[in-house]
Amino acid sequence: SYELTQPPSVSVSPGQTARITCSGDALPKQYAYWYQQKPGQAPILVIYKDNERPSGIPERFSGSSSGTTVTLTISGVQAEDEADYYCQSADSSGTYQVFGGGTKLTVL
Partner 1 sequence: QVQLVQSGAEVKKPGASVKVSCKASGYTFASYDISWVRQASGQGLEWLGWTNNENTGYAQRFQGRVTMTVNTSRSTVYMELSTLRSDDTAVYYCARANPQSGGGFDFWGQGTLVTVSP
Residues in the chain: 108
Q: Please report whether residue 36 would count as binding partner 1 according to CB under 8 A.
A: no
Nearer to partner 1, 19 or 49 (CB): 49
Chosen residue from 18, 24, 35, 74 binding partner 1 by CB under 8 A: 35
Question: Distance (Å, rounded) from C-alpha 77 to C-alpha 17?
Answer: 6
Q: Please report whether residue 71 would count as binding partner 1 according to CB under 8 A.
A: no
| Residue 55, beta-bridge partner list | none
Question: Distance (Å, rounded) from C-alpha 87 to C-alpha 106?
Answer: 17
Task: State phi, psi for 57 to the nearest 5 degrees.
Answer: -90, 130
CB of 47 to partner 1, least distance (A): 8
Chosen residue from 10, 20, 24, 33 binding partner 1 by CB under 8 A: 33
Chosen residue from 48, 60, 64, 69 binding partner 1 by CB under 8 A: 48
